[in-house]
Structure 1
Amino acid sequence: MSAPLFDPYRLDKALLTGHAARLRRAAGPGAPARFAERLAAYAGRRYCLLTSSGRAAIRAGLAALGAGKGTCIGMTDVTHPSALDAALAAGARPELLDINPGSLNMSPARLKAAADKLDALIFTPMFSTSIPPELVASLAAANGFPVLEDASQAIGVYSGGLPYGSFGDISVFSLSSGKPVSFPGSKAGALLCDDPVLFRRAARAAAGTGGPAPEAVPLMELKLSLIADTLAVFRRNNDIYRHVLGGLTGLRLPATGREAQDFPVLAKDKAALEKFLLKLKLPLGRTYEPFHTLAPARGRFTGGALYAAQALHLPSYPMMTEGECLYAAGAVKGFYRP
């Protein structure tokens, strides 16, 4: 069988072609404000500030929360480098928290142990799931630190009946190329909150850094209206991967969320499996370099080290076909059961 054509931008191409007239009508000077209002309402927030990237949103959020020079900011050991970059740029000291290899999210035990040392926390739901948000809120209230929620991997996903993006004092989304709400080849982000004082502080911190490209906003708005369809594809892909790959010796399937934007696996023979899959022209998602290998860190990082040694991310895209997902899952299974 020849490899199917995996295309992460298939949805973008279909919408840009099939809805060209609608997108032209939606363009104009009022488009960013309208999209910001709709994104805020979608996440159950009062305010939304569009930014030039997710990284810019995190930086503005930390500044608004007073998490600057000399402060201690807790964060998970495995996530997008923008969290670490933003903390270091602010002159803060990152308090890196190991992950639970069973979920690839921050370890609740490590967060509890570090809570009394924190001046702020970047709470990052990874792979469309997280430690309980109510635990984060309880520890923050008991120890007096604010929470910046980076919900970039969980837009449209709910926990306990509430959407991710609604849990932090400030929340951010990445709207950059490849995300479920995005424009191909373009960077953007969003900062959301309910407190007018925090919003004004964030807007001042972000002043002069720009926002999304004007031509990108109508497509982002359209993709937000279609997010339920996108998440349905992610859920189907997740279910296929788990059905086909479950029980294979040497391959572990962490308990990530069904709406994850890719499907991480832990493979004892990572290098050999990666080589095998790339030979079959199977595109693999980006894995993250654990922060404890990049910045000073305290304690042991067994979860982060295991992720670095074994993690591969299998593809899951909007409009990815069932056949493509079955091909990807079958390729992995074929490595273990030739």
Structure 2
Amino acid sequence: MIRLTQPYISSDEIHAMTEVLQSGMLVQGRRVQEFEQNLATYMQANYVSVVSSGTAALHLALAALELGQGDAIIAPSFTFPATVNVVELQGARPVLVDVTSGSFNIDPKQLKDTIKTWTGPEKLKAIIVVHEFGAPADMEIIMNIAKEHDLYVIEDAACALGTISNGKHVGCLGDIGCFSWHPRKSITTGEGGAIVAKSESLHQKINILRNHGIQRLEDGSIDFIVPGFNYRLTEFQAVLGNLQLQRFQYNLERRKQLVKVYKRELESVEDISLPEMIDGHSWQTFMIVLNSKHERAKVIKCLAEKGIEANLGAQAIHMMSYYKDKYHFGLNQFPNAKLFYEKGLALPLHPLLTEEEITYISHTLREVLR
């Protein structure tokens, strides 16, 4: 089976993790600090904290900015539900905006319209910008909109390590950026994530919140100054992340090469739409959109019979039971999100694939769609 995604963990990485496990120093050691420093160097960021998951990073972002009950937070309608789940968990209200075709990112025009026409009892406080599948959102416009309306910008860069927008790494442009190291991402620590803060004060607050609300005092004792979380990353995860990061640039370039093969092989297929080839894209996922006449479940089944794994790309939040029932969203309220949720098809993409396999996948897809 050609897998949709396949994390690669080398024998050197396994050996390094084994050494950490045998050392007995499993948490809050130097390897976590090294991973944070190396991520900061790679992204040219000043303040990086590694955490237990991308969702933990998002939750910490909202908590650190003190967003909660009485607040409204804008998010795209097409994303993995964790993006908005954390809004609900903080007691705030998610306000959805549709996405653009091609990039699958939040539509700046509709974002602006949503802000101008907002009449809810909650106060708009922030925008969560998702860089979907590694495609950079239009951050210059979004940051200007946020500045005009005095809104925080939280970047959900879970899929976007290595994505560049206007010469800068995404996740480092807003007030806070959040990353994920899940096995489907470009580097993995099993579970894990990171959070990038714009200021030192925000960084310190995040570090306190991720570790039970503990503040270390000058005399060496500790105090619990705020109710916090246990969102720490382990030492053996950090050593894996460090080694994964060392070969990330090769993996990133390999993904870009494979996407070019997909584009060459599929651009003449009439029954699909290809993702936009955006500068700075890191290609965590390659999702096409099927023509309305094709039933995705059948296409997935036929591809599986030919030894190819495929799946949906992301969810339309307004169609998920919890959000649909609570906020009474209309089925067609966010048409692009609905289309991409129902007809989006993620094809295999990871550095272990060969160009011959991409060609086989493409040719097989052509046959299935005939």
Write out per-residue CA displacement over residues 274-301 of structure 1, whole angstroms, 9 at most, x where no aligned residue: 2211211211145322111131247821
Specify the alignment match of 1:281 in structure 2. Answer: 307
C-alpha distance 64-79 of structure 1, shift in aligned 2 (>3 A) = same
> 2:13, 2:194 → 1: CA distance?
24
Q: Does 1:11 align with 2:41?
A: no
Structure-to-structure mapping, 1:110-259, within 5 angstroms:
110-116=110-116, 117=118, 118-183=124-189, 186-208=190-212, 209-255=230-276, 257=278, 258-259=281-282
Structure-to-structure mapping, 1:38-53, within 5 angstroms:
38-53=38-53
- Indicate if the aligned counterparts of 1:180 and 1:318 stay in contact, CA closer than 8 A: no
Instruction: Give the CA RMSD over aligned residues.
Output: 2.1
- Indicate if the aligned counterparts of 1:253 and 1:264 stay in contact, CA closer than 8 A: yes
Give the AA of the match of 1:316: L
Q: Which has the larger displacement, 85-94 or 42-51?
A: 42-51
> 1:18, 1:263 → 2: CA distance?
29
Give the AA of the match of 1:181: I
Structure-to-structure mapping, 1:18-57, within 5 angstroms:
18=12, 29-57=29-57
Q: Does 1:330 align with 2:355?
A: no
Q: Does 1:262 align with 2:268?
A: no
C-alpha distance 276-20 of structure 1, shift in aligned 2 (>3 A) = closer
Specify the alignment match of 1:307 in structure 2. Answer: 340
> 1:232, 1:319 → 2: CA distance?
12
C-alpha distance 274-21 of structure 1, shift in aligned 2 (>3 A) = closer
Structure-to-structure mapping, 1:78-89, within 5 angstroms:
78-89=78-89
Specify the alignment match of 2:316 in structure 1. Answer: 290
C-alpha distance 302-147 of structure 1, shift in aligned 2 (>3 A) = same
- Indicate if the aligned counterparts of 1:115 and 1:140 stay in contact, CA closer than 8 A: no
- How many residue pairs were aligned? 329
Specify the alignment match of 1:106 in structure 2. Answer: 106
Give the AA of the match of 2:233: P
Q: Does 1:67 align with 2:67?
A: yes
C-alpha distance 140-86 of structure 1, shift in aligned 2 (>3 A) = same
Q: Which has the larger displacement, 205-214 or 71-80?
A: 205-214
Superposed displacement of residue 136, structure 1: 1.1
- Indicate if the aligned counterparts of 2:87 and 2:94 stay in contact, CA closer than 8 A: yes
> 1:127, 1:149 → 2: CA distance?
13
Q: Which has the larger displacement, 150-159 or 108-117?
A: 108-117
Superposed displacement of residue 205, structure 1: 2.7
Q: Which has the larger displacement, 303-312 or 290-299?
A: 290-299
Superposed displacement of residue 107, structure 1: 1.3
- Indicate if the aligned counterparts of 1:241 and 1:329 stay in contact, CA closer than 8 A: yes
Specify the alignment match of 2:297 in structure 1. Answer: 271
C-alpha distance 31-316 of structure 1, shift in aligned 2 (>3 A) = same
> 2:111, 2:5 → 1: CA distance?
35
Rg: which structure is higher? 2
> 1:167, 1:285 → 2: CA distance?
31
Give the AA of the match of 1:170: I
Q: Which has the larger displacement, 28-37 or 251-260?
A: 251-260
- Indicate if the aligned counterparts of 1:47 and 1:193 stay in contact, CA closer than 8 A: yes
> 1:19, 1:98 → 2: CA distance?
41
Superposed displacement of residue 312, structure 1: 0.7
> 2:311, 2:57 → 1: CA distance?
24
> 1:37, 1:151 → 2: CA distance?
18
TM-score computed with the length of structure 2 as normaliser: 0.83
- Indicate if the aligned counterparts of 1:128 and 1:256 stay in contact, CA closer than 8 A: no
> 1:271, 1:210 → 2: CA distance?
37
Write out per-residue CA displacement over residues 101-153 of structure 1, whole angstroms, 9 at most, x where no aligned residue: 23211112211112344310111111222332111110111000111111111
Write out per-residue CA displacement over residues 177-211 of structure 1, whole angstroms, 9 at most, x where no aligned residue: 2311213xx21111111312211222233223132
- Indicate if the aligned counterparts of 2:258 and 2:349 stay in contact, CA closer than 8 A: yes
Write out per-residue CA displacement over residues 36-95 of structure 1, whole angstroms, 9 at most, x where no aligned residue: 111122222211111111111101101112221121100111112111110000011101
Percentage of matched positions with identical amino acids: 24
SS in 1 for 2:79: coil
